Amino acid sequence: MKSGFAEIFEHEPTQWGLRGDPLLWRELKSRLKHDEMPNTPDELMKALETEFKNCTGHSIKERSIYY
């Protein structure tokens, strides 16, 4: 049986880098909680990159600071 994204987001980090991080974490958790875990690391990265962009409007690879 495959584990899902819910497993990744089960425990929140104890420390955050930026003020928006907890909100983004919870949004990603909510959006991905019913999705199955991708089969490969590349598919996992693609799924996370896609949802990050859907939530923020920015690429996860973008180097500039945005709010």
What does the pLDDT read at residue 33?
92
What does the pLDDT read at residue 66?
67
Query: Residue 16 and residue 44: Cα distance in Å, rounded?
Result: 22
CA count, 13 A, side-chain hemisphere, 37: 12
Look up residue 65 and give its amino acid: I
SS3 content of the chain, % helix, strand, coil (to 5): 50, 5, 50
Res 25 pLDDT > 80: yes
Q: What is the mean pLDDT of residues 17-46?
A: 91
Report yes or no: 2 and 36 within 8 Å, Cβ to Cβ.
Answer: yes
Residues 6+ apart with CB under 8 A from 38: 44, 46, 47
Res 36 pLDDT > 80: yes
